[in-house]
Structure 1
Amino acid sequence: MNVKQLRAFLAVAQCLSFAQAGERLHLSQPALSLTVKSLEDELGGKLLSRTTRSVSLTPEGETLLPLARQLLADWDNTEELLRQRFTLQLGKVSIAAMPSYAGNLLPSALKVFRERYPRVNVAVHDVINEQVLEMVRHRRVELGIGFEPESSSSLLFTPFYMDRFVAVVPVGSPLAEREEVTWGELLREDFIALQRPSAVRLLLEQDLRNQHGKLSVAFESHQLSTIGRMVASGLGVSAVPSLCIQQMRELGAHCVALAEPRIERRIGLMMLADHKLSAAAQALRDVLIECAQEHTLENV
């Protein structure tokens, strides 16, 4: 039993006329009769009683009629739902992004995406870099944004840009008047850092160890917004990726370029190398890459 056979049966059952049903389905009467007969052969008995003057339903045909209506309605609804998803009239996509990106550049990209695909729902998981990688690898999200993995053949990484760390200091600090400060100068102050296992914290400790030894931390927090407020309140200084500059300014802190050593890391988009993205995820990926390219050009 197939959809074509059910449509033929339903049309004849509703019209009680092969001629009218054929017109509705754009089929010749012989072709329609053959389709109905093939359905009867499949099921093992007559569904329609036909004479030269009239067509009527057999008891078995009466039993099939409401079931055929429901089956075809379900089929049409499923077909329409998938068509809407493929054409992005409906859909849902999940993405994981590290907080420094999720709270700064991601909203503007999502605004562009929403304008183009207003009926596609986006779930954003604002998690540390390590969890971004884990969620992508375990297929909990289709896309992730974070630091470039050191080595992973299972992930496809699309670089957005090279991000560098900048100093975050109180507005009234003498360091705020400088165009650039060294790490040595910054670390003489009380340092405020993200808590482990944040990739930002681990990266700083790793790159500073040779020249400055173990990173001495006076205060630590899980949230970048809390660190910005702490610095603005005069509790100390910090260092964050440059994509957080606007966020730090809004929190009342000041950012200054950092040198010696210059710590930087590529940020980009991750997905499983062997995974075929859904239509919604592919559309979001395209928008994210487009917005990243525009951001890079603006900052050249």
Structure 2
Amino acid sequence: MTVKQLRAFLAVAHSLSFAQACERLHLSQPALSLAIKTLEDNLGGPLLVRTTRSVALTPEGETLLPVARRLLADWDNAEELMRQHFTLQLGKVAIAAMPSFAANLLPVALKAFRDRYPRINVAVHDVINEQVLEMLRNRRVELGIAFEPETLDGLDFMPFYNDRFVAVLPVDSRLVAHEEIRWGQLLSEPFITLQRPSAVRLLLEDKVAELHGRLPVALESHQLVTVGRMVAQGLGVSAVPSLCERQMIELGARCVALSEPIIERRVGLLCLAGHQLSSAAQALADTVLALSRGG
């Protein structure tokens, strides 16, 4: 059965008139008759009884009628649904983002996206850097935002910017007055950081060790918010990507530039290499990239 054949049958069955069905479908009578005959041949018997004066359904035609209605309704609904998805009137997209981005710049991008596409549902997974990559590779999300991986291994990376780490200090710290401090000065205080396997923690340990040895961790947490609150309460100091600077200030801490060494790493958008994004995911990717690059 084809959609065209079912539409022809349904038009005749509703009006019980070939002439009216031709007018409704904008078909010639020979074309309508051929569609009905081909359908009957495919199914194995007559669906309509046609005389010079009337048209009636056979018992098999009566059986097919409600089925044809459902099939065509489903087809029309599917066409409309896909049209709405491709025109971004409906849709759903899942994105995974490391906490430093998810809590700071991502909401700004989502606001711009929702203003333009209010009926697109966005599922945000706020997870550590390593889980962003894992969720992408397992196809649990279409988009990811994270530090640039050491090896892409089947992923495409579109950079936003280089994010430089800054010191996070209590408001009454003697170091707050400085425009820039050295790592050696920062590490003279109790150090608070994220727990392993956080990419932030591993990056700090790797870069700081070259000049200052092992990172002297006094307190650690899984959440940046908790780290910020600990610092604000005077329990110690920390270092976070500059992306988190506003968040740290809102939590009651202060931020100062760090040097010796300067630690920075590229942040960007990730997706599976060679994977065709859905229309909704592509629109969200374009929005995030434009805003993150100052567009």
Q: TM-score range by the shorter chain?
A: over 0.9
- Alignment partner, residue 263 of structure 1: 263
- 1:2-26: CA deviation from partner (whole Å, max 9, x where unpaired): 1100000000000110000000000
Q: Distance in 1 between matches of 2:281 and 2:143?
A: 7
Q: Distance in 2 between matches of 1:148 and 1:59?
A: 67
Q: What secondary structure sits across from 2:61 in the alignment?
A: helix
Question: Bigger CA drift: 111-120 or 75-84?
Answer: 75-84
- Alignment partner, residue 88 of structure 2: 88
C-alpha RMSD of matched pairs (Å)? 0.8
Q: What secondary structure sits across from 2:156 in the alignment?
A: strand
- 1:175-208: CA deviation from partner (whole Å, max 9, x where unpaired): 0011000000000001001110000000000001
1:194 counterpart letter in structure 2: L
1:189 counterpart letter in structure 2: E
* Cα drift, residue 274 of structure 1: 2.1
* Cα drift, residue 87 of structure 1: 1.0
- Alignment partner, residue 111 of structure 1: 111
Are 2:215 and 1:215 aligned? yes
Matches within 5 A, 1:22-33: 22-33=22-33
- Alignment partner, residue 233 of structure 1: 233
- Alignment partner, residue 172 of structure 2: 172
* Cα drift, residue 259 of structure 1: 0.7
* Cα drift, residue 153 of structure 1: 3.6
Are 2:102 and 1:128 aligned? no
Are 2:73 and 1:57 aligned? no
Matches within 5 A, 1:1-300: 1-294=1-294
Gaps of 5+ in 1: 296-300
1:40 counterpart letter in structure 2: E
Q: Distance in 1 between matches of 2:152 and 2:217?
A: 31
Q: What secondary structure sits across from 1:286 in the alignment?
A: helix
2:56 counterpart letter in structure 1: S
- 1:230-271: CA deviation from partner (whole Å, max 9, x where unpaired): 111111100000000000000000000001100000000000
- 1:27-84: CA deviation from partner (whole Å, max 9, x where unpaired): 0111111111111111111111111111111111111111111111111111111111
* Cα drift, residue 86 of structure 1: 1.1
Q: What secondary structure sits across from 2:254 in the alignment?
A: strand
State the TM-score, normalized to the length of structure 2: 0.99
- 1:90-129: CA deviation from partner (whole Å, max 9, x where unpaired): 1110000000000000000000000111001000000000
Q: Give the count of matched residue pairs.
A: 295
Q: Distance in 2 between matches of 1:135 and 1:27?
A: 52
Q: Distance in 2 between matches of 1:100 and 1:211?
A: 26
Gaps of 5+ in 2: none
Question: Displaced runs of 4+ in structure 1, greater than 6 A?
Answer: none
- Alignment partner, residue 298 of structure 1: none
Q: Distance in 2 between matches of 1:293 and 1:193?
A: 28
Q: Distance in 1 between matches of 2:161 and 2:87?
A: 30
Q: What secondary structure sits across from 2:176 in the alignment?
A: helix
* Cα drift, residue 161 of structure 1: 0.4
- Give % identity: 73
1:289 counterpart letter in structure 2: L
Q: Distance in 2 between matches of 1:152 and 1:258?
A: 29
State the TM-score, normalized to the length of structure 1: 0.97
2:80 counterpart letter in structure 1: E
1:5 counterpart letter in structure 2: Q
Q: Distance in 2 between matches of 1:153 and 1:132?
A: 14
Question: Bigger CA drift: 147-156 or 108-117?
Answer: 147-156
1:233 counterpart letter in structure 2: Q
Q: Distance in 2 between matches of 1:67 and 1:193?
A: 63
Q: Distance in 2 between matches of 1:103 and 1:62?
A: 60
